[in-house]
Structure 1
Amino acid sequence: MWNNITAAPIITEIPSEAYVVLQKLAAKWTDILDARDLSLEQLKGAMTNKVYACQWERDNGNRPRKVLVRVYGGASDLFFNRADEVLTFERMSQKNQGPRLLGRFPNGRVEEFLRARTLTAVEMRDSKLSQAIAVKLLEFHQLDIPGTATIKLWDRLRDWLRKALILSPTEQSLEIGLNKMDLEIADLEKRLSRPGEKIGFCHNDLQYGNIMISEKDDSITIIDYEYASYNPVAFDIANHFCEMTADYHSDYPHILDFSKYPDMEEQQRFVKTYLEASGQEVTDREIESLMSEVEEYVLASHLQWALWGIMSAAFSEIDFNFMEYAQQRLVEYHRLKRVLFLCGSSNN
């Protein structure tokens, strides 16, 4: 999971193997006087890896050559298989999605530095940008990524629960209900799984820091595929809607404002744009059906990121109140579940 990336006011170091890759890469450029003469700046906002901007001054007066260096986080393997993530990145690069892969070293990689910026929390709710995101998300979901197109969500929740139980003290586990969450996951899988639901290659973490807008033409690019996998497309949309309640650059970045969850008009506009991006005629019934599925998959999103927060609280050094974040997601999960399944379905 990522925040909006901003430059930190410090110069730092990267693994020596990364310098070797960078110098070999720079040696291919004839407008750089010395491949070893590079400047490095850590970028703030990444919550899984360490990310750096690396640049070389050019001898022709043009703006510097620039690449992005990603050093993998030490505990990231708790959340996803790094080998699978690297393979996904390479395949996305081959399909001209996101930045190109420029080089690899044992604990990281070098990527193209996109001439674009990440969105802000406010911009993600802009109607014009939101519709552009919907169109791009359908394109993402339709990507033919090699592998079995089976749902990853439920196995991931069970895997994260198992790890969260190991990492959490017994008293804490009882307090937040981890000891009963296996029943919640099983119940939710039974309620939400339905024949014929649309499965696609999902991003699974579509928050504003993972959405970039081009400096050149305002086109949208989706980046960072650590959590990407095949899943119900309704889950991906639900997760995106949930991210509209977050502002990771506020004074209290872990606090969610659920009053900012998109209203019915915003949801309908997004879903309608998403479905129409296929080029097919879309009926009101199809829009309402997908909206209903999205509403229910919000529950799965709350469980996923609650478990993420609980696990992260055990090892992360990032200044972010992971446990309070997780508790908010769990409280909202139980509230919404009562509304949907005990009081009858209703939109947020």
Structure 2
Amino acid sequence: MLHEDALNIARHVKSEWKESKIHLKVFTDGITNRLVGCYTDEKPEEMILIRVYGENTHLFIDRQMEIRNMILMNKAGINPPLYCIFENGICYGYTPGQVLDENLVRQPAVCKMIAERLAFMHKLTVENDSRDLEPCLFKILRRYLDLIPDGSEINNRIPNKQHLNREVNLLEKHLSNLGSPIVFCHNDLLLKNIVLNKCNGVTFIDFEYADFNYQAFDIGNHFCEFAGVEKYTPSLYPNKEFQIKWLKNYIVVWNRLNNENKTDEMIEEQIEKLYDQQGIRN
């Protein structure tokens, strides 16, 4: 059924393709969704992706926000186009290249491109957004907690819902005093959401969670992703030397985008401040 539906969408989006020439590829790396690629042998780089949302994912992912994000990213030249929307999914362009792994993400040239690309993304603005700028972090955390029935116990190793709510309140009080700017963030910059393309550098994909958030959160979350998702390896978390070099690449571009000329001493102060705001101490 999935293959038949995917072919129907491909015929709609790419009417010039001959049906007999269309191939399907099922991707298995997704955590919350099912993903199918449609392409032809003549132009495999023009593959389109069809994403079918996972069951009940609308409870914790704002799909309208995701669509807005994909349109915004495409206008900024960061993301391929969004072709169509259907009842339980979307169809959009493919980003050719190689997804990162724990080795590629540490290569100096690659991590420099990631830092620069993220600084550029953090400067994006959303047109016609009348909301007050506030971090989405606590709203999302509370949305997750609201999915837990009152009075339920998850297991004996996880605090109850009331305790977790208190922790979120304490976290909000602490982080709101750090002074980290609220910017447009990816919020899910794990390694498989970064594609290396030899022609265009690095590209970010999957903007389900993108929204305004603390600048330091987006960077700190990216560093945490070095340790893995399915297989958690704390030793892969980057040390201070790596983080400082990464942050310098970011700050230099961030200052340029803000038209700010800083002395070397001022840049070092910015780096140390951002390091303190975002980091987990080794």
TM-score by length of 2: 0.87
Alpha-carbon distance in structure 2 between the residues aligned to 1:71 and 1:15: 13
**Which residue pairs with 2:232 in the alignment?**
256
5+ residue gaps in structure 1? 1-11, 249-253, 299-346
Correspondence for 2:210 among 219, 223, 228: 228
Correspondence for 1:47 among 31, 45, 66: 31
Matched, 1:76 2:60: no
5+ residue gaps in structure 2? none
**Which residue pairs with 1:331 in the alignment?**
none
TM-score by length of 1: 0.72
Report Cα offsets for 1:137-166 as digits up to 9, x if no partner: 101111112323321111111111121x22
Alignment of 1:46-125 (within 5 A): 46-58=30-42, 65-125=46-106
**Which residue pairs with 1:276 in the alignment?**
252
1:101–1:36 Cα change, 3 Å: farther
Correspondence for 1:155 among 139, 147, 151: 139
**Which residue pairs with 1:292 in the alignment?**
276
Count of residue pairs the alignment pairs up: 270
**Bigger Cα displacement from structure 2, 188-197 vs 121-130:** 188-197
**Which residue pairs with 1:35 in the alignment?**
19
Report Cα offsets for 1:285-314 as digits up to 9, x if no partner: 11111110002xx5xxxxxxxxxxxxxxxx
Instruction: Supply the RMSD in Å over aligned alpha carbons.
Output: 2.2
Alpha-carbon distance in structure 2 between the residues aligned to 1:156 and 1:55: 36
**Which residue pairs with 1:242 in the alignment?**
224
Correspondence for 1:130 among 102, 111, 114: 111
Alpha-carbon distance in structure 1 between the residues aligned to 2:81 and 2:140: 28
- Among all aligned residue pairs of Structure 1 and Structure 2, give the percentage whose two residues are the same amino acid: 28
Report Cα offsets for 1:314-347 as digits up to 9, x if no partner: xxxxxxxxxxxxxxxxxxxxxxxxxxxxxxxxx3
Alpha-carbon distance in structure 2 between the residues aligned to 1:70 and 1:101: 11
1:20–1:190 Cα change, 3 Å: same
Correspondence for 1:24 among 9, 12, 22: 12
Correspondence for 1:187 among 170, 174, 194: 170
Tell me how far 1:231 sits from its aligned partner: 0.4
Residue identity matched to 1:260: L
**Bigger Cα displacement from structure 2, 181-190 vs 142-151:** 142-151
